[in-house]
């Protein structure tokens, strides 16, 4: 398989990482596009190691970290194009956290991607875990038609300190739970539901009355990581690992709380 074919093969996962990193499909995809432009103009930037995926993520990271604003917190870069403006900038610890916990890179590969040594990767992941775990407990609505998966998700999020307000198997059940009970602070949603309905449609119905972060779960993530619009900012692949779910929940809630802090400052 050629290098270009390998890059295409890994693109959906770079999109997933970029969206989780920025909290936005639009911003994440803009950085992925910039990465591809760099590879076209400077093909020698790829191929420095035997791991094409790690190399691809390294090029992305070098672009991300070349913008000084991306190492800061609680700032917006107003002179960037609108699609690249970020409400919250993600510093190095959360990059290490997502590379390890969401994308499953080894410590050695994460060190190559971030241009640090392995011991620093460990320190960064630990730092991010403390940062993201702080004061983020919320109420979660689970939309999942497979009982065993729903039970696993419920146990996992409760183990992280969150409260599950309900588990819905269909679009109708999800709307009923949200309308009759407490409004969720986050939604975990499967895309294909038991009655043939869509988790995407269920979420769109719910977001007409309130706004919360949504994490979609699917066995076919590549179908929803193409760069088309609109697509999920946060996506978990089945079968999922607990660390994947924990990482994405923490990142989604981080952006939500950061937005609320900015709103409070400007109120």
- CA dihedral in degrees (90, 91, 94, 96; nearest 10)? 130
- For residue 236, the 8-state DSSP code is E
- Give the rounded distance of the alpha carbon of 12 from its chain centre: 12
Residue 263: C-alpha distances to residues 73, 87, 106, 184, 251 (Å): 15, 11, 38, 19, 19
CB 244 within 8 A of CB 101: yes
* Tens of each residue's pLDDT in the chain, 267 residues: 677 888 888 999 999 999 988 888 888 899 999 999 999 898 888 876 678 899 999 999 998 888 644 444 444 333 333 333 333 445 788 899 889 888 889 999 999 999 999 999 999 888 877 666 555 789 999 999 999 999 999 999 998 889 999 999 999 999 999 888 788 999 999 988 877 888 888 898 998 888 889 999 988 887 777 777 667 778 888 888 887 888 888 888 877 776 666 556 665
Residues with Cβ within 8 Å of 96's Cβ and at least 6 positions away in sequence, in order, are 110, 114, 121, 124, 125, 128
């Amino acid at each position: 398989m050629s290098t270009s074919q390998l890059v295409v093969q890994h693109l959906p996962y770079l999109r997933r990482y970029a969206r989780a990193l920025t909290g936005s499909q639009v911003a994440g995809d803009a950085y992925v596009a910039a990465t591809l432009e760099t590879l076209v103009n400077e093909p020698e930037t790829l191929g420095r190691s035997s791991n094409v995926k790690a190399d691809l993520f390294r090029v992305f990271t070098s672009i991300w970290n070349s913008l000084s604003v991306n190492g800061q917190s609680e700032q917006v870069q107003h002179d960037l194009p609108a699609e690249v403006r970020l409400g919250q900038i993600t510093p190095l610890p959360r990059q290490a956290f997502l590379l390890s916990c969401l994308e499953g890179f080894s410590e050695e590969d994460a060190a190559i991607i971030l241009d640090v040594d392995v011991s620093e990767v460990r320190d960064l992941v630990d730092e991010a875990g403390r940062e993201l775990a702080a004061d983020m407990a919320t109420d979660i609505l689970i939309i999942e038609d497979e009982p065993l998966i729903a039970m696993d998700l419920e146990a996992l999020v409760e183990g992280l300190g969150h409260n599950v307000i309900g588990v819905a198997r269909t679009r109708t059940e999800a709307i009923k739970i949200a309308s009759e009970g407490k409004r969720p602070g986050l939604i975990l949603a499967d895309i294909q539901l038991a009655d043939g309905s869509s988790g995407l449609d269920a979420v769109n119905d719910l977001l007409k009355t309130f706004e919360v972060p949504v994490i979609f779960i699917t066995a076919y993530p590549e179908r929803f990581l193409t760069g088309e619009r609109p697509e999920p900012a946060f996506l978990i692949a089945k079968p999922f690992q607990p660390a994947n779910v924990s990482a994405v929940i923490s990142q989604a809630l981080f952006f939500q709380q950061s937005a609320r802090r900015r709103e409070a400052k400007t109120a």
